Chain A
């Protein structure tokens, strides 16, 4: 008996449906976690991260190849 025979007769199609449900649930979880009102401050802070690139305090001249 080859692996293809085993797989063909194993009736695996339900696994795909189970996976679909798990994935949808995971996604719903992500949506809820993302839109929790309590996370508003955290989200706002995160959105501003590109502007918080730690401004230089003391520029120094340092040799560098062009």
Chain B
């Protein structure tokens, strides 16, 4: 019997919207990246509080990840899902809510991050109201996406759809659990986790954000758009299935490699390393699958910039996923952690894999979406070469920078002293490479401008009204054609028959559940022990909570984004303990909501900076760092000296901390008074040292109080018990 054919159209308007957003935010995010790169060589480019490095760096990362790559994924997902599922999106309204909601979130991020509202967790900086909005918009997208799957007219879900499903589900889980926090104001919150546990959650999130926001969605795009562009199916469909399941099984475990040699328990670190190394296999399986899709079509690559973009994208995926496992090996990581090598690694992935795949995809989409010819293939070709050379220049320069600095940190002279005891020496050596990096980045951005011009001109040549082809396809039969006829009769037979139906009908559900299960079980086994098994975080009796003033200072440290350049985690190596002091213990950060271990040392580690310099030194240093440390590239923070400290908000901060289990004692009743008393004491000390008077109500006093506390408690224990 011939079933009735449904007639329907695809919603390409939403694809066009996301395409424009991808370009606009991509350009913005990359320009912010160029600015912060230049700030490292020319500190004078730190314009006031709003445009200083510490606040703009998270804006750059969030913009390129969630705005550029995010919108690129949505562009491709809305285009390919409708066609692979043979159905218009479930709801046009939900599509629009998703689009406008996502753009509003990006605008909110672009406003709040420079204003200093941050949770201090990498790629999860946005404060709690925005986090709730992200969750709501993501659920909107999920409903729309799964709704489309439910009304699909193609039984089999193509592998690209699997990758989308895994991404949609996992990103939701990651986002919600890493951002659990208690609000301490309209745009201020404290993570419910502390210290080691917070670090573990954060890098479980951070690593899997790379996995399920920048890798699996783009692999889905690769498995759809590459075959389309080459006009031949993927090399091995079976390999793509294995690629999918191995990534889902393994990626989620790899997060701890971001915390090698920190206060994380060693078993967790080792598990992370092993899974990271294993990840190499499926990643390269995927890369080979992508490249071999071009089998017999390599000559097309010569004339077609789209294929060129795809080839470099897949190659960059291969390089980044070879390098990732290598960097996760502990002994390699000892050299590379905290250095620019990691920055080079992520840019190979972001510029090469995400960027090039996006460019190739959009050049392929432009003539189809705007129903005209691509304005200029030559410009696209030029874009390709500019972006390629820009990326190579960027990577070469910044790999050298990472290696140079890593080796300088660990160099000892003949007598066994640090060869470069002045941290600033190791930074100065990087300046030429930083400049070269900025040149490379500029070339990449120049390519981006050509890209925009091509988009704009192609859009300009669109027809007055878009043609909307009517598609005809049969609806899914209610029963699977292969359903065996089971003899009617017993309850067992009826059950078996129903089960059979459900299994086929519910394939997407089964799929989603299995993916979620693999991700959740792995997360539980890895994360739960550090929360619930005591031996994982040995406590130290002399470690006490921060005083109310220090807590306020810590929030200023967070607001200014100090953690973007300064770590607070000394690793157990002689070259680290010589430079910074005793290595950091897990018990030291038990009251740190959130943890501030940092991931990059553009400046020195601050875990034991307390008591190292006088208060007056800090005051002068904040006013103008190069005056104290010649050639320092730290931006000045004169506003800390001028701004009045908000004593009124301190009580709420202390209350929330107490609620999270920090033993605050009587500070719960009179935090502002205690803070004022301590501030007066410090201000008097500074005045006695010959500094300015009347500092007692300024922000800088709280900041100094916090810095002078860092790493002190454990020294009290060594001195015999403390107070």
Task: Report which A residues bind B (CB closer than 8 A).
Answer: 3-5, 7-8, 12, 15-16, 19, 23, 27, 30-31, 34-35, 42-54, 56-66
Interface of B is mostly: helix
Interface size class on chain B is: 35 or more
Q: Which residues of A contact B472 (CB under 8 A)?
A: 54, 57
Determine whether B535 belongs to the interface, using a CB cutoff of 8 Å to chain A.
Answer: yes
A26 to B535, CA, bound (A): 32
A59 to B242, CA, bound (A): 39
Q: Which residues of B contact A12 (CB under 8 A)?
A: 533
A22 to B467, CA, bound (A): 52
Q: Which residues of A contact B466 (CB under 8 A)?
A: 62, 64, 66
Q: How many A-B residue pairs have CB under 8 A?
A: 104
Partner among A27, A58, A66 whose Cβ is within 8 Å of the Cβ of B245: A27
Q: Are A61 and B238 in contact (CB-based, < 8 A)?
A: no
Known: A53-B86, A56-B469, A64-B468. A8 touches B535 (CB 8 A): yes
A36 to B459, CA, bound (A): 47
Interface-located stretch among B153-161, B183-191, B586-594: B153-161
Q: Are A56 and B471 in contact (CB-based, < 8 A)?
A: yes
Interface of A is mostly: helix
A42 to B525, CA, bound (A): 36
Task: Report which B residues bind A (CB closer than 8 A).
Answer: 9, 13, 16, 80, 83-84, 86, 154, 156, 158-160, 224, 227-228, 231, 233-234, 237-238, 241-242, 245-246, 249, 459, 462, 465-473, 518, 521, 525, 532-535
Known: A23-B518, A30-B242. A49 touches B84 (CB 8 A): yes
Closest chain-A Cβ to B91's Cβ sits at a distance in Å of 18
Q: Which residues of A contact B238 (CB under 8 A)?
A: 34-35, 43
Q: Which residues of B contact A15 (CB under 8 A)?
A: 525
Q: Are A50 and B242 in contact (CB-based, < 8 A)?
A: no
Interface centre among A5, A42, A48 (most CB of B within 10 A): A48
A42 to B9, CA, bound (A): 27
A12 to B536, CA, bound (A): 14
Closest chain-B Cβ to A47's Cβ sits at a distance in Å of 4
Q: Are A58 and B521 in contact (CB-based, < 8 A)?
A: no
Q: Are B473 and A31 in contact (CB-based, < 8 A)?
A: no
Q: Which residues of B contact A64 (CB under 8 A)?
A: 13, 465-466, 468
Known: A34-B241, A54-B471, A66-B459. A7 touches B233 (CB 8 A): no
Known: A4-B533, A5-B534, A7-B532. A44 touches B237 (CB 8 A): yes
Known: A7-B533, A51-B233, A59-B467. A46 touches B156 (CB 8 A): yes
Partner among B16, B245, B532, B535 whose Cβ is within 8 Å of the Cβ of A3: B532
Q: Are B13 and A8 in contact (CB-based, < 8 A)?
A: no
Partner among A8, A30, A51, A58 whose Cβ is within 8 Å of the Cβ of B470: A58
Q: In the complex, which residue of chain A has the Cβ closest to the Cβ of B5? A: A57
Partner among B9, B227, B534 whose Cβ is within 8 Å of the Cβ of A4: B534
A7 to B533, CA, bound (A): 6
A57 to B471, CA, bound (A): 7
Closest chain-A Cβ to B285's Cβ sits at a distance in Å of 12
Q: In the complex, which residue of chain B has the Cβ closest to the Cβ of A65? A: B13
Known: A4-B532, A23-B518. A60 touches B470 (CB 8 A): yes
